[in-house]
């Protein structure tokens, strides 16, 4: 008999039929009630075992984590909490799970403990919910862009280009470490390490994406990106997924409109399709909040927060206006920030971003027109000669979720900027062809997928929203 998914059993419209379910035991109460989960939904199906007619040897093997197959009749449940249950006629143990050794006990584990068991943590309710939501969100990303006629582009993972110019790249080598080419001083010559050429893992697919946008009009990438920054924060990963749309003939305002519409679409998609999982995570957060002092508790529940983002426009503020707000909120005597903004031109620290989003505007904020010297080389210089058409989207509880810009389309201005920054024109000649031949206004942005999943699930550490987190501290899998 073919097994039916627990989700389908729980949504069944008829009862009294013979069914088979396969899954893993979450709990086994009173030698009688199995809570069975198969990953198709956060909800378990209760399976009622006829313990009087079941051998003790079998009952003993119904332990948390064991894989079982149950065959029986789907009936309306007499107990509260579930609509249906299975009256078990035949029970088979498919795979034992020694309760003395199985690390996932039927109790609440700390997130730190679970992180060390990333291959098993997905067997918990919270991680099952997070990973299902992550999957639905990635589908929503494709659904949004495909409906709008964007072309999905796979940009290279191994690349010679440092798109962000931040030098935070993992080197790629095709040679055994003890056989690396050496320069005259006898040091490893990294310039020749990938079949004679220097390469890295990509930090962003943007530059390659731009070449496609300048032919196909509207494109997006969605793939893994890598940053060798030594940031051990709850917002940074060494390997994360980024979505990067790029659109020919879009200016910065169009770019903001696209980013806002896109983010609202995917959040709505999750609300419409992940109801049970979101409700579970909301409940989990409410429990967590109870242990916090009243003043630190969130004013909104998870679902209220998600709906708030859908119902309110993102506030658009220039960098210069933001600096004025921050200066005003930081009177000389009362030090609100550990790092006080004095000079126009400084980069914002996360505490400034949090102040703007969480205290001042109390909604998502799009900051634009940043000083040129704190942003990447490819951004369009404004007429004032000192700011660029950059935009960052800041989210409550997250900080920067999107970074993007209108691109510098003028060949001469771009080449001049590259010269100043010491970026090799020859290395990026292919990129400059977009400006040599048929150049035009174009814009794009990058959304950090894990930061989006963080926001939607209400989790607080980025390591908890990616299946196998890679950070400077944690890459054992
Ligand atoms: O702001 P970033 O560095 O922008 C770019 O890479 C541009 N090339 C994007 C573009 O215009 N096409 O990164 C974009 C986003 C950030 O806003 C953040 O959400 C995420 O990527 N991000 C990270 N997420 C997790 N861990 C990290 N170490 C991240 N670094 C950036
Ligand atoms: Mg950025």
40-91 pLDDT per residue, tens: 999 999 999 999 999 999 999 999 999 999 999 999 998 777 889 999 999 9
Do 152 and 73 sit in the same domain of this protein?
no
Global pTM reads 0.94
Would the CB of 446 count as within 6 Å of ligand 1?
A: yes
Do 230 and 355 sit in the same domain of this protein?
yes
Q: Are 425 and 198 in contact (CB under 8 A)?
A: no
Domain count, the chain: 2
Distance 204 CA to ligand 2 centre (A): 11
Q: Which ligand is nearest to the CA of 209?
A: 1
Do 334 and 254 sit in the same domain of this protein?
yes
CA distances from 220 to 15, 215, 443, 449 (A): 46, 13, 12, 13
Do 264 and 342 sit in the same domain of this protein?
yes
For position 231, what pLDDT does the model report? 76
Q: Whose CA is nearest to atom 24 of ligand 1?
A: 448
Going 61 to 64 to 70 to 76, the CA torsion angle's sign is: positive
Assigned domain for 194 exists: no
- The phi and psi torsions of 332 (rounded to 5 degrees) equal -50, -45
Would the CB of 48 count as within 6 Å of ligand 1?
A: no
For position 215, what pLDDT does the model report? 98
pLDDT tens column, 384-397? 999 999 999 999 99
Do 55 and 87 sit in the same domain of this protein?
yes
- The phi and psi torsions of 47 (rounded to 5 degrees) equal -120, 120
For position 389, what pLDDT does the model report? 98
For position 184, what pLDDT does the model report? 83
Distance 247 CA to ligand 1 centre (A): 18
Distance 376 CA to ligand 1 centre (A): 12
Distance 206 CA to ligand 2 centre (A): 13
Dig out the tokens for 56 from the structure.
């003790």
Dig out the tokens for 326 from the structure.
């921050």
Do 141 and 61 sit in the same domain of this protein?
no
- Write out the DSSP string of 331-373: -SSS---SS---STTPPPPHHHHHIIIIIII-S-EEEEEEEGG
Would the CB of 353 count as within 6 Å of ligand 1?
A: no
Query: Which residue would you say has higher pLDDT here, 14 or 129?
Result: 129
Would the CB of 144 count as within 6 Å of ligand 1?
A: no
Atom of ligand 1 nearest to the CA of 405: 11
Whole domain around residue 456: which residue ranges? 125-168+203-464
The model's confidence at residue 336, banded by pLDDT at 50, 70 and 90, is low
Do 283 and 357 sit in the same domain of this protein?
yes
Would the CB of 245 count as within 6 Å of ligand 1?
A: no
Total number of residues shown for the chain: 477
CA-wise closest residue to 75 among 65, 95, 63, 89 = 89
Cα–Cα distance between 438 and 77 in angstroms, integer?
68
Do 321 and 380 sit in the same domain of this protein?
yes
Do 292 and 435 sit in the same domain of this protein?
yes
Atom of ligand 1 nearest to the CA of 166: 3
Do 355 and 411 sit in the same domain of this protein?
yes
Assigned domain for 207 exists: yes
For position 82, what pLDDT does the model report? 82
Assigned domain for 198 exists: no
């Amino acid at each position: 008999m073919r097994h039916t998914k627990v989700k389908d059993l729980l949504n069944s419209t008829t009862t009294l039929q013979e069914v088979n379910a396969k899954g893993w035991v979450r709990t086994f109460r009173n030698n009688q009630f199995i809570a069975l989960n198969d990953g198709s939904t956060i909800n378990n199906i209760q399976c009622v075992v006829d313990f009087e007619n079941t051998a003790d040897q079998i009952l003993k093997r119904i332990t948390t984590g064991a894989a079982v197959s149950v065959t029986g009749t789907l009936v309306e449940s007499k107990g509260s909490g579930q609509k249906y249950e299975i009256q078990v006629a035949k029970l088979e143990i498919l795979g034992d799970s020694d309760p003395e050794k199985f690390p996932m006990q039927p109790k609440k584990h700390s997130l730190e403990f679970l992180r060390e068991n990333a291959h098993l943590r997905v067997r918990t309710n919270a991680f099952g919910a997070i990973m299902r939501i992550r999957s639905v969100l990635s589908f929503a990303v494709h659904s949004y862009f495909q409906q709008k006629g964007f072309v999905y582009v796979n940009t290279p993972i191994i690349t010679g280009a440092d798109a962000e110019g931040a030098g935070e790249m993992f080197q790629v080598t095709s040679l055994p470490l003890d056989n690396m080419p050496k320069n005259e001083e006898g040091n490893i010559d990294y310039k020749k390490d990938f079949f004679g050429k220097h390469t890295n893992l990509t930090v962003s697919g943007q530059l390659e994406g731009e070449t496609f946008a300048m032919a196909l009009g509207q494109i997006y990438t969605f793939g893994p990106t890598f940053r060798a920054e030594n940031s051990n924060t709850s917002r940074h990963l060494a390997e994360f997924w980024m979505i990067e749309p790029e659109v020919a003939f879009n200016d910065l305002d169009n770019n903001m409109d696209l980013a806002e519409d896109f983010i609202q679409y995917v959040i709505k998609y999750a609300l419409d399709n992940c109801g049970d999982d979101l409700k579970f995570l909301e409940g989990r957060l409410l429990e967590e909040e109870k242990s916090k002092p009243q003043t630190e508790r969130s004013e909104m529940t998870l679902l209220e927060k998600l709906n708030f983002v859908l119902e309110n426009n993102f506030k658009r503020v220039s960098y210069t206006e933001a600096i004025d707000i921050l200066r005003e909120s930081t009177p000389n005597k009362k030090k609100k920030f550990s790092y006080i903004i004095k000079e126009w031109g400084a980069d914002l620290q996360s505490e400034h971003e949090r102040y703007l989003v969480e205290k001042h505007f109390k909604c998502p904020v799009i900051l634009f027109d940043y000083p040129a010297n704190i942003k990447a080389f490819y951004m369009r210089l404004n007429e004032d000669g000192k700011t660029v058409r950059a935009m960052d989207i800041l989210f409550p509880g997250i900080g920067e979720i999107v970074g993007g810009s209108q691109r510098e389309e003028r060949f001469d201005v771009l080449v001049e900027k590259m010269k100043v920054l010491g970026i090799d024109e020859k290395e990026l000649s292919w990129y400059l062809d977009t400006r040599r031949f048929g150049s035009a206004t174009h814009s794009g942005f990058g959304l950090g997928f894990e930061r989006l999943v963080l926001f939607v699930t209400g989790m607080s550490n980025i390591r908890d929203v990616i299946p196998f987190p890679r950070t400077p501290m944690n890459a054992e899998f």
